[in-house]
């Protein structure tokens, strides 16, 4: 198995799992795929690295060679779109971020997968698609009632703090989802330990323009009131609603975390912020649940391993907790001639056994059985307290599932980053966001009277996402 790393060179992973009992029995039909090569494109993220440890086992069992092309996160969408638009089928399997599914599926770049799920020659009886959490599977892979991708993991975003540093400063951090953990509390806690002269900043934020749709958006939600939830930036009939006082307050708060940041941090991404925290130079940092093992608890960093407190995004001033949903799904290129072999790989990768075994190395759960396993309880206990949240609270439409999301996210980043560097204030940013986002939606035809083919607005009635996974087309 070969991996093309984010630096562009090939690396080989030793086949260290070849003697393990096969995860899923190979069917007679699947034997015809022996000798096939599949090309996979995915981000250079720890949860994928955890899964790739098992690829030699797959290659031996099925005789299918896997070539992995790892791309830096902030370049993956563009590189994926280039491949998809060229229509060559060179890449057989794409890792698809939930926020890009609508864009890819609406353009016809992905093949529906339910036909393969239902085919007993390609999918083992024990695969059990209904073992996936309903909102995780539908929120990750369903567009226009059709299933396009299968989730490898899903979770909320939040914050990670040094629990030992807090205790040394005389206070104890709350538990995840505790409503006493508020934006005010977080700022005050960071202030108590902020001491850059001694190599410790209060909070390593991620203000780079490209990242606002990921790292700022939870604060936009947290600053809502119970009455305004659902109209954070898009209201009924796709009207843009972002220019309001709640938005202004959320931007001001997010930018106030600049008080703890170095002067040259305006372009920091996830990598820069995480590296500082890993080195012991920050009390707190942004996190994504799927990164916790790989970034913070992998056992290789004595400075932070076992000393962290993994919390949710803080509740805002009106008691609202962000319902963030983040995930990656594995999808098949509509242009590949190897769709059945590609599904064989995806089925194996997302099986019960591989998911549970990969937890040890940093992958996240997307199945009921994995959440309830002893493996999660013992190795990654920070997942157990998110199970109920992912079942009943999370909202797949936090980042609206339309082909225009990437433009909307970029507008948030462009205007928000201008506030961070002092070009404009939050009020001007909110007004600019509304104007630009409205133009995006108008260009997309969302305001044409009588139009009936627009994406459904689903975020006010999440029962759509609670459908049994096997019921999707």
pLDDT in tens, 268-300: 999 999 999 999 999 999 999 999 999 999 888
* Cβ atoms of residues 65 and 37 within 8 Å: yes
Q: What is the mean pLDDT of the chain?
A: 93
Non-local (6+) Cβ contacts of 94 within 8 A are: 40, 41, 42, 80, 83, 84, 104, 110, 330, 331, 332, 333
Q: Write the CATH number of the domain with boundaries 2-154+326-393.
A: 3.40.190.10
CA distance 434 to 437: 5
2 backbone φψ class: left, alpha, beta (φ>0; ψ -120 to 50): beta
Q: What is the mean pLDDT of residues 81-96?
A: 97
The CATH number fitting domain 157-312, selected from 1.10.3720.10, 3.20.20.10, 3.30.930.10, 3.40.190.10:
3.40.190.10
pLDDT in tens, 413-453: 999 999 999 999 999 999 999 999 999 999 999 999 999 88
19: pLDDT confidence band, cut at 50, 70 and 90? Answer: very low
Residue 22 pLDDT grade (very low, low, confident, very high; cuts 50, 70, 90):
low
User: CA-CA distance, 166 to 304, in Å (whole number)?
Assistant: 13
With bands split at pLDDT 50, 70 and 90, how would you rate the model's confidence at 2? Answer: low
pLDDT tens for each residue of 295-334 = 999 888 889 999 999 999 999 999 999 999 999 999 999 9
Q: Is the pLDDT of residue 15 over 60?
A: no
Would you kindly state where each structural domain of the chain is located, as residue ranges? 2-154+326-393, 157-312
Indicate whether this model's pTM tops 0.85. Answer: yes
- Do domains 2-154+326-393 and 157-312 share one topology? The answer is yes
Q: What is the pLDDT of residues 176-189, one digit of tens each?
A: 999 999 999 999 99
Mean of the pLDDT values across residues 392-399? 94
Give the model's pLDDT for residue 60. 97
Least confident of 125-134, 340-349, 458-467: 458-467
């Amino acid at each position: 198995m070969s991996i093309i790393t984010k630096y562009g060179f090939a690396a080989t992973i030793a086949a260290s799992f070849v003697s393990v009992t096969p995860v899923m029995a190979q069917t007679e039909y699947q034997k015809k795929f022996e000798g096939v090569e599949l090309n996979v494109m995915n981000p250079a993220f720890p949860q994928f690295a955890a899964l790739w440890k098992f690829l030699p086992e797959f290659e031996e069992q099925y005789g299918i060679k896997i070539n992995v092309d790892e791309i830096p996160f902030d370049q993956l969408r563009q590189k994926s779109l280039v491949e998809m638009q060229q229509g060559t089928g060179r890449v057989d399997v794409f890792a698809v971020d939930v926020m890009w599914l609508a864009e890819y599926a609406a353009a016809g770049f992905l093949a529906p997968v339910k036909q393969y799920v239902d085919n007993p020659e390609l999918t083992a009886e024990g695969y059990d698609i209904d073992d996936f959490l309903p909102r995780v599977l539908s929120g990750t892979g369903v567009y226009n009632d059709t299933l396009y991708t299968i989730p490898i993991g899903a979770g909320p975003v939040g914050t990670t703090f040094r629990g030992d540093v807090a205790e040394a400063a005389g206070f104890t951090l709350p538990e995840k989802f505790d409503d006493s953990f508020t934006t005010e509390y977080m700022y005050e806690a960071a202030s108590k330990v902020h001491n850059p002269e001694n190599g410790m900043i209060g909070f390593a934020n991620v203000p780079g323009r490209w990242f606002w749709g990921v790292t700022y958006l939870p604060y936009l939600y947290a600053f809502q009131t119970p009455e305004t939830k659902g109209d954070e930036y898009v209201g009924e009939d796709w009207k843009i609603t972002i220019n309001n006082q709640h938005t202004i307050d959320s931007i001001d708060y997010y930018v106030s975390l600049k008080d703890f940041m170095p002067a040259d941090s305006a372009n920091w991404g996830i990598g820069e912020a995480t590296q500082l925290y890993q080195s012991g130079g920050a009390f707190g940092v942004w996190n994504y649940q799927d990164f916790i093992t790989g970034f913070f608890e992998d056992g290789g960093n004595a400075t932070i391993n076992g000393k962290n407190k993994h919390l949710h995004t803080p509740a805002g001033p009106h008691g609202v907790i962000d319902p963030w949903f983040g995930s990656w799904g594995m999808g098949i290129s509509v242009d590949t001639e190897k769709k059945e072999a590609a599904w064989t790989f995806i089925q194996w990768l997302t099986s019960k056994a591989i998911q549970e075994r990969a937890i040890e190395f940093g992958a996240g759960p997307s199945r009921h059985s994995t959440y309830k396993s002893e493996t999660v309880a013992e190795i990654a206990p920070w997942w157990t307290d998110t199970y109920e949240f992912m079942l009943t609270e999370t909202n797949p439409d936090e980042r609206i599932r339309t082909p225009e999301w990437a433009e909307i996210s970029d507008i948030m980043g462009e205007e928000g980053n201008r506030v961070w560097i002092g070009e404009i204030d939050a009020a001007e940013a909110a007004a600019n966001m509304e104007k630009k986002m409205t133009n995006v939606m108008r260009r997309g035809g969302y305001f044409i009277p009588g139009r009936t083919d627009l994406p459904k607005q689903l975020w006010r009635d999440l029962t759509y996402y609670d459908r049994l996974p096997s019921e999707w087309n």
